[in-house]
Structure 1
Amino acid sequence: MSKQFFVTFCLLFITFYGKCQVTCSLPNKKAFETKIDSLNKIDLDSLNPSQKITSIAETFLGEPYMEKTLDIDIKKETVVINFTGFDCTTFVENMIALTKLYTGDQNEKYRTLEHYASILEHIRYRNGKLKGYTSRLHYFTDWVRNNQAKGIVKDITVEIGGQTYDKNIDFMSTHITAYDQLVKNDSAISAIRLIEDDLNQTPLSQIYIKDISKVESKIQSGDIIALVCNVKGLDVAHVGLALRKEDGRIYLLHASQSKGKVVITDKPLAEWLKNSKLNTGITVARLN
């Protein structure tokens, strides 16, 4: 086999149809299978959802950060499975999907790529169904609200001490050229505007940075932490998972663009965000 043919073969994307169309490269398929083999050796059944997602996520420390992993084909939206690199959102989505894969009566024979894809589709898309690019839950506030409606997570921001605030969310419709799928696509732009209008019907919420230390005891390892930003028209700039370390403080386990890999913050979350010029606070969602 020639070197050129081997490289081309490894970069091919396999697509199959079941309940949804899935795109996964051969290296990612192998990475998924290797991860499942390693997780099968861990006693995850005895753990609650928060403990389980944390245990799974820690096995990904050091994995590469990778942008735009979902935008492989701008003409056709598919459920993309990428296990060789993560951005902050796909990292969180994959950790939840793996937690669901190891929850309930699912034995090893159901831990297949196809079954995993169906879980990922349920998490990533509006009402659990892929129906084109605009069905993907792009805004994280929308992601939380829709996944709360599905019973996957619960937004506990206000419950543990957060406050509501008003902000007009319209970043995607006012930055069309930043999204290839929206360029010269009037129907998609209209759909996004409707989504934004719906988001803007309900106040947003956050725990301001100055208050994080006051509510830190109410945050659990495994909670989903979203960093609220001050960018006009945008709700959230980054997401990760809470991790309580031996010192009793909450840190962020996340796919870091600046570090280029999945890491744990070197300071507790409250101190790590203290002097941020981009972020104003956090939202917290808990896995059901």
Structure 2
Amino acid sequence: MNNSHSPFISIIFSKNIFVILSGFLLFSSNVFSQIQCTAQDKNLVLEKLAYFKSLKQFEELNINETAVKVGKSFLGIEYVAKTLEINENGEDLVVNLHGLDCTTFLENVVVFSRLIKQDKLEFEDYVKALELLRYRNGKIDNYNSRLHYFSDWLYENEQKGLIEQKSKSIANQPFKNELHFMTNNRDKYVQLGDEENYLNLKSTEKSFTKRNYFFIPKEHIEDYESEIKSGDLIAITTNIKGLDIVHVGIAIHQNGRLHLMHASSKQKKVVISEKPLSEYLAPTKYQTGIMVAEILSPQKKF
């Protein structure tokens, strides 16, 4: 399940002030953008950026090939659920590379891949790119500004020009998307105990019904494997009432078949599925198929 956005120390960004407080990094700025990041995680981001900067081979790769290499650099990283549910009284931009769930793994692949193609490899660039991807209109505001439902994440990031959805062009199979899982289960989400958060999210959920979504039913995935590229984004759809997506990852072809690179709650780390994606999904009745999107390559910085 999409634990970070899903249903189921502090940094306030600044160029001027840098303080270590109780093992956490603290920045300050006039712009409202509060970030939670340990010193360990900031170092992990900097190490990752330095590593990517040192590899000249990325200049020869397209965005999908870059995404595969970035994804593989996370293989073996521990799976940790609900890494974004830290602040019960507000909303912070959480930076965490030492433990990933399925969504934060995918988000980091997208962020690092786009930064590499833009040649923007500073910590400040990373923070800005992560906020742009994770929040409605690219700006952190409150709990409801985070893109909790992954179909909403896909829609919003397509509007921003960061990704492009491919499910319609591949299979043209409509996906009925009526979202209310979170507000119908508000007791599962501490932040929804706040009436304003609850009402705001309920209003947002209603707006989703106006959108058209498409998917590839799992019994047809093998038929369309050639149209899904390594490095594409995969979102696994569900028939759970009021919910859209239960898991996400990165497409990767191995031995002539389509597999899934993902942060696995079962294996407790980032892995590549042993079975092809169609076989991986087949036994699970509540998993109905996939949505597919590709990362759009940004203009390089000059």
- Please report the TM-score for the alignment, with normalisation by the length of structure 1: 0.91
Query: 2:286 pairs with 256, 260, 278, which one?
Result: 278
Q: Could you list the per-position Cα deviations for residues 195-216 of structure 1 after superposition, in whole angstroms to 9, with x for gaps in the alignment?
A: 1111112243211011001111
- Map residues 133-172 of structure 1 onto 2, 5 A cutoff: 133-172=143-182
1:10–1:26: 8 Å Cα contact kept in structure 2? no
Residues 216, 249 of structure 1: 8 Å contact kept: yes
Amino acid aligned to 1:132 = N
Instruction: Give the counterpart of 1:48 among 62, 73, 77.
Output: 62
1:253 is aligned to: 261
- Show the 5 A alignment for 1:105-116: 106=119, 110-116=120-126
Deviation at 1:11, TM superposition (A): 6.5
Equivalent position of 1:214 in the other structure:
223
- Listed one character per residue, the Cα deviations across residues 10-59 of structure 1 (whole Å, up to 9, x for unaligned) are 97322323442222101111211222222223221221111111111111
Q: Does 1:17 align with 2:28?
A: yes
Question: Given residue 270 of structure 1, which amino acid in structure 2 is its aligned partner?
Answer: S
CA contact (8 A) 2:177 2:208 kept: no
Do residues 240 (structure 1) and 255 (structure 2) align? no
Q: Deviations over 1:158-200 (max 9, x none)?
A: 10114103242100110101111111x1111111111111111
1:41 is aligned with what amino acid?
A: S
| Contact 1:153 1:287 (C-alpha < 8 Å) held by counterparts | yes
1:124 aligned residue: 134
Residue correspondences, number: 274
Q: Does 2:206 match 1:197?
A: yes
Paired-residue identity, %: 36
- Counterpart amino acid of residue 67 in structure 1: A
Deviations 1:55-97 (A, max 9, x none): 1111110000011111221112111110101000011111111
Post-superposition shift, 1:113?
1.9
**Amino acid of the structure 1 residue aligned with 2:48:** K
Runs of 4+ residues deviating >6 angstroms: none
Amino acid at match of 2:99: G
- Per the TM alignment, residue 243 of structure 1 is displaced from its structure 2 partner at its CA by 0.3
Could you list the runs of 5+ residues in structure 2 that have no partner in the other structure? 1-19, 297-302
The AA in structure 2 aligned to 1:82 is N
* Partner AA of 2:46 in structure 1: E
DSSP-derived class of the 1:169 partner: coil
- Of stretches 45-54 and 161-170 in structure 1, the one that deviates more from structure 2 is 161-170
Q: CA deviation at 1:132?
A: 0.8
**Match of 1:181, SS?**
helix
Query: In the alignment, what sits opposite 2:295?
Result: 287
- Quick one: distance in 2 between partners of 1:167 and 1:102? 34
CA distance in 2, matches of 1:125, 1:12: 26
Q: Is the CA contact 1:209–1:270 (under 8 Å) kept in the aligned structure 2?
A: yes
- What is residue 28 of structure 1 aligned with on the other side? 41
Report the Cα distance in structure 1 between the residues aligned to 2:36 and 2:99, rounded to whole angstroms.
15
Equivalent position amino acid for 2:162 in 1 = I
Call closer, same or farther: CA 1:97–1:60 in 2, change over 3 Å: same
Secondary structure at the residue paired with 2:267?
coil
Q: How many Å separate the matches in 1 of 2:106 and 2:127?
A: 15
Q: Which residue of 1 aligns with 2:271?
A: 263
Deviations 1:138-175 (A, max 9, x none): 00000000000000011110101141032421001101
User: Helix, strand or coil for the counterpart of 1:285?
Assistant: strand
| C-alpha distance in structure 1 between counterparts of 2:62 and 2:86, whole Å | 35
Query: What amino acid is aligned across from residue 228 of structure 2 in structure 1?
Result: I
Report the AA paired with residue 102 of structure 2. C
Q: Tell me how far apart the structure 2 counterparts of residues 73 and 165 of structure 1 sit (CA, whole Å).
A: 33
Q: Distance in 2 between matches of 1:52 and 1:46?
A: 9
Letter in 2 for 1:27: Q
Preserved contact between residue 67 and residue 110 of structure 2 (Cα < 8 Å): yes
Tell which deviates more after alignment, 37-46 or 141-150. Answer: 37-46
**2-structure distance, mates of 1:10, 1:46:** 41
The question of whether the paired residues in 2 share the 8 Å contact of 1:225 and 1:282 is answered with yes
In structure 2, what residue type is equivalent to 1:136? R
Contact 1:121 1:129 in 2 (8 A): yes
